[in-house]
């Protein structure tokens, strides 16, 4: 470093000594600015800290008027210091006063200084403050000087993040920006309110040792860790079992590309050579990357932040020799999991008694992690951008699964309001529980059957708790998705038998494997599919790989011995496909009968109506099947060509719009004409207003999540079916009707005191 008597390594060594001194944080910061000024041969060194209100406060200075400390403040974007904070980039000027952003603060006495070098104090991409050196001369700062100041700023970032610094002149005013309350909005995945503390599913490595003892050894550690991470990514891609880790092949390909990026590697090596440990170098470079990308408006660039975060996390965990997932046994009470993404198996690994909620950066209301969260009765919010980087482990956090809201580090008033909301919800749930044994019948005497959607054994106690008539949809694929290997036929039979035993005399409808698309089994080779929702999935896999479907059907037939067994097939697009599936069941029954096995007393075979082509074969499919079930999640996304996992289009259609209701009316009318029972088991059956519309269309069997049975039953008990049927009939009879019936149905409910 030009003109520096000790250079960056000496500076870092002295910094380490000061950090170890038993003095207050403010005294330590005062000594640090003196040290930096001397080391960089600068007349001035100042540290500005970002407060929770977004202003920068002068916290320590050598060279400026010391009386200005804790009095001088500026907004982000104001002056040169504010410019550095807003852009999160270094700024070096030979004549600061000629820069258009220069802002003169008379109390500091800085008018005599021309040379200016400032760097942002960053942590995880968040700007915590600004570190500045100034000279009287019009000085040009060298690259190595800028690098040294950035390295020093990283040490200050950890000191600021610790929360030790307080402004004596204004207690509490200098609450650090990292600790400020945040309100985030995402997608509502599972109802409920959860208050607790953050647990990161993939905990970040907190780098404690920042300053290197042996640079050559640190470079070697970095190179070794990079080589190991590259090898592990290559192995995952070659092995083809990436779904086990919640990773898709194309994501890993992108991460592998970044792992070989020479610019990224060069910056980390340079950071080590400036005096940092390998871990600190990785964190320093990734924090710079985050700060830069978070300020981009290009959605593609912002999306790449996930890939860079993933790579940096892998590298840090490799350097410290830690697992990349949270230790399950270390889970505290009142834990709220925060993760970029999770699979159902990972969630089930945690101790349910300690979990109070789940926050995800990815995942929509119909994803399997959302289905499992609802089965667990766990409030969940998805689609919260950058969630894992906005929190620190142990932070207070509140989630509202119904509203899709997340409150991070909430104030006392917000916490009290949500605690009251949680108490009100608990009282409402108690009211629903009192309705458990009340038959779901409308006021004008129409009986409605309310069933459960389930997929795991832990769902079955909800039958008795809710008073459900049975299980209208048992998702058999969840057993496959949470297993480490393909469940054997005996294991499948044991599960199906346990489900039937738990249900007692109530009916259970088993849906055969609905895998493929976004539901890739961890132990199966992933198939490249440009449009997985419309690709090789569900019954298509079963018919193309009959061994898989035959094994499941045989397990179901054995488990249902002596009982009435109900099986339905998903993603059926033509009557011919259903006939082929029926033929397979018939052959399996014949095989078991020939070998002396006890068969079910009755086998009813049904079909999921979720592919729009069946709307044009309704009479034929109703005659061929013993029962029908409407899978509205897929039917609506296919009907409107709107991917339900795509946040840009998922809410562009309304299931209460005229086109959707006409399609649903066609199904119920043709089922009635063929005297076939029909159930709605999609998400719309779980919402009271939509359930009211379904009753108006003529549906008498609804299947839903356990938490929805109470609210839907409460709606039914206050409803007269005939008037709402008339409303829907008249609205759909209008040939010009194209919009949504939601406002009309909402007004009807309000007029008649129906809780929705």
Residues marked as catalytic = 368, 681
d(CA 409, CA 27): 28
Burial class (CB in 10 A: 0-12, 13-18, 19+), 340: buried
Please check whether residue 386 is in contact with residue 156, taking contact to mean a CB–CB distance below 8 angstroms. no
What is the CA 601 to chain-centroid distance, rounded? Answer: 44
User: Would you say the C-alpha torsion 680, 684, 686, 691 has a positive or negative sign?
Assistant: negative
d(CA 148, CA 144): 6
Q: Is 444 left (phi over 0), alpha (psi -120 to 50) or beta?
A: alpha
Helix (H, G, I), strand (E, B), or coil: what is residue 239? helix
Give the residue from 454, 466, 463 showing the smallest Cα distance to 509: 454
DSSP H or E stretch at residue 661: helix 658-673
What is the CA 384 to chain-centroid distance, rounded? Answer: 6
What is the CA 26 to chain-centroid distance, rounded? Answer: 39
The DSSP bridge pattern shows strands 115-123 and 126-135 to be: antiparallel
Give the residue from 597, 592, 539, 544 showing the smallest Cα distance to 567: 539
Q: Cα torsion for 724, 726, 729, 731, to the nearest 10°?
A: -80
d(CA 420, CA 48): 39
d(CA 107, CA 123): 30
Beta-strand (E) ranges in 362-433? 380-382, 396-400, 405-408
Query: What is the CB neighbour count within 10 angstroms for residue 431?
Result: 10
Helix axes 546-559 and 489-503, enclosed angle (nearest 10): 40
Contacts by 70-79, CB closer than 8 A, 24 or more apart = 70/167, 70/168, 70/169, 70/170, 70/174, 71/107, 71/169, 72/105, 72/107, 72/108, 74/48, 74/103, 74/105, 76/50, 76/127, 78/103, 79/103, 79/105
Both structure tokens of 609: 């109506």
d(CA 486, CA 244): 12
Please check whether residue 472 is in contact with residue 452, taking contact to mean a CB–CB distance below 8 angstroms. yes
Q: Phi, psi at residue 451, to the nearest 5°?
A: -110, 170
In degrees, rounded to 5, the angle at the alpha carbon of residue 744 between the alpha carbons of residues 742 and 749 is 90
Question: Which residues are CB-neighbours of 651 under 8 A, at least 6 positions away?
Answer: none
Bridge-partner residues for 335, per DSSP? 197, 355
The CA-atom distances, in angstroms, between 279 and each of 223, 256, 356 are 12, 20, 33
Q: Phi, psi at residue 411, to the nearest 5°?
A: -75, 170
d(CA 260, CA 646): 30
Query: What is the CB neighbour count within 10 angstroms for residue 710?
Result: 22
Burial class (CB in 10 A: 0-12, 13-18, 19+), 448: buried
Please check whether residue 362 is in contact with residue 680, taking contact to mean a CB–CB distance below 8 angstroms. no
Interior/surface letters 364-386, b for 16+ CB within 10 angstroms, e for the rest: bbbbbbbbbbbbbbbbbbbbbeb
């Amino acid at each position: 470093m030009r003109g520096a008597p000790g250079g960056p390594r000496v500076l870092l060594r002295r910094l380490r000594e000061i950090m170890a001194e038993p003095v207050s944080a403010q005294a330590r910061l005062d000594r640090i600015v003196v040290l930096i000024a001397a080391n960089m041969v600068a007349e001035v060194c100042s540290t500005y800290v970002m407060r929770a209100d977004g202003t920068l406060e002068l916290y320590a200075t050598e060279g400026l008027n010391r009386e200005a400390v804790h009095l001088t403040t500026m907004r982000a974007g104001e002056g040169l210091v504010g410019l550095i904070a807003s852009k999160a980039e270094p700024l070096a000027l030979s004549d600061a006063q000629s820069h258009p952003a220069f802002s003169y603060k008379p109390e500091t006495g800085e008018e005599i200084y021309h040379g200016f070098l400032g760097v942002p104090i960053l942590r995880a991409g968040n700007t915590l403050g600004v570190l500045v050196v100034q000279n009287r001369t019009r000085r040009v700062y060298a690259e190595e000087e800028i690098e040294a100041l950035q390295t020093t700023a990283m040490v200050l970032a950890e000191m600021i993040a610790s929360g030790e610094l307080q402004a004596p002149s204004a207690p509490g005013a200098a609450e650090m920006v990292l600790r400020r309350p945040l309100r985030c909005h995402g997608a509502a995945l599972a109802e409920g309110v959860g208050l607790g503390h953050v647990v990161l599913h993939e905990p970040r490595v907190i780098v404690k040792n920042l300053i290197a003892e042996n640079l050559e050894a640190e470079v070697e550690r970095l190179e070794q860790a990079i080589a190991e991470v590259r090898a592990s990514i290559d192995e995952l891609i070659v092995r083809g079992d990436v779904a086990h880790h919640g990773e898709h092949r194309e994501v890993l390909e992108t991460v592998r590309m970044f792992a070989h990026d020479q610019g990224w590697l060069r910056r980390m090596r340079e950071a080590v050579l400036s005096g940092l440990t390998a871990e600190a170098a990785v964190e320093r470079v990734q924090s710079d990357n985050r700060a830069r990308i978070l300020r981009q408006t290009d959605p593609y660039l912002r999306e790449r932040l996930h890939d860079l975060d993933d790579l940096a996390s892998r590298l840090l965990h490799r350097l410290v020799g830690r697992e990349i997932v949270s230790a399950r046994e270390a889970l505290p009470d009142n834990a709220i999991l925060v993760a970029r993404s999770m699979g159902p198996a990972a969630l089930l690994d945690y101790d349910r008694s300690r979990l109070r909620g789940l926050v995800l950066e990815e995942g929509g209301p119909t994803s399997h992690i959302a289905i499992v969260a609802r089965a667990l009765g766990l409030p969940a919010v998805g689609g919260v951008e950058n969630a894992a980087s906005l929190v620190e482990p142990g932070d207070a956090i509140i989630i509202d699964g119904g509203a899709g809201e997340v409150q991070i580090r909430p104030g006392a008033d917000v916490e009290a309001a949500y605690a009251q909301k949680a108490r009100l919800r608990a009282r409402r749930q108690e009211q629903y529980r009192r309705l458990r044994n009340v038959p779901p019948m409308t006021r004008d005497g129409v009986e409605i059957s309310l069933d459960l959607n389930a997929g795991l054994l832990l769902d079955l106690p909800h039958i008795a708790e809710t008073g459900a008539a049975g299980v209208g949809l048992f998702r058999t694929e969840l057993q496959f998705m949470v297993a480490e290997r393909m469940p054997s036929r005996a294991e499948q039979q044991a599960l199906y038998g346990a489900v039937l035993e738990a249900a007692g005399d109530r009916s259970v409808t088993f849906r055969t494997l609905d895998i493929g698309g976004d539901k890739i089994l961890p132990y199966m080779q992933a198939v490249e599919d440009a449009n997985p929702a419309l690709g090789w999935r569900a019954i298509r896999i079963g018919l193309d790989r009959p061994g898989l479907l035959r094994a499941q059907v045989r397990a179901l037939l054995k488990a249902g011995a002596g009982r009435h067994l109900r099986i339905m097939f998903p993603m059926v697009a033509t009557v011919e496909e259903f006939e082929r599936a029926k033929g397979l069941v018939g052959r399996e029954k014949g095989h078991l009968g020939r070998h002396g096995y006890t068969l079910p007393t009755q086998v009813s075979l049904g079909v999921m109506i979720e592919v729009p082509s069946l709307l044009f074969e309704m009479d034929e499919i109703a005659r061929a099947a013993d029962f029908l079930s409407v899978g509205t999640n897929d039917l609506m996304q296919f009907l409107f060509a709107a991917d339900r996992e795509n946040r840009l289009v998922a809410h562009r259609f309304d299931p209460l719009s005229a086109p959707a209701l006409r399609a649903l009316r066609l199904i119920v009318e043709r089922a009635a004409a063929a005297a076939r029972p029909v159930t709605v088991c999609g998400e719309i059956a779980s919402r009271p207003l939509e359930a009211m519309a379904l009753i108006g269309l003529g549906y008498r069997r609804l299947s839903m999540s356990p938490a929805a049975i109470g609210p839907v039953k409460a709606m039914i008990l206050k409803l007269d079916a005939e008037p709402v049927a008339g409303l829907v009939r008249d609205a759909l009879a209008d040939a010009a009707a194209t919009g949504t019936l939601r406002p009309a149905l909402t007004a009807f409910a309000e007029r008649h005191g129906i809780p929705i």
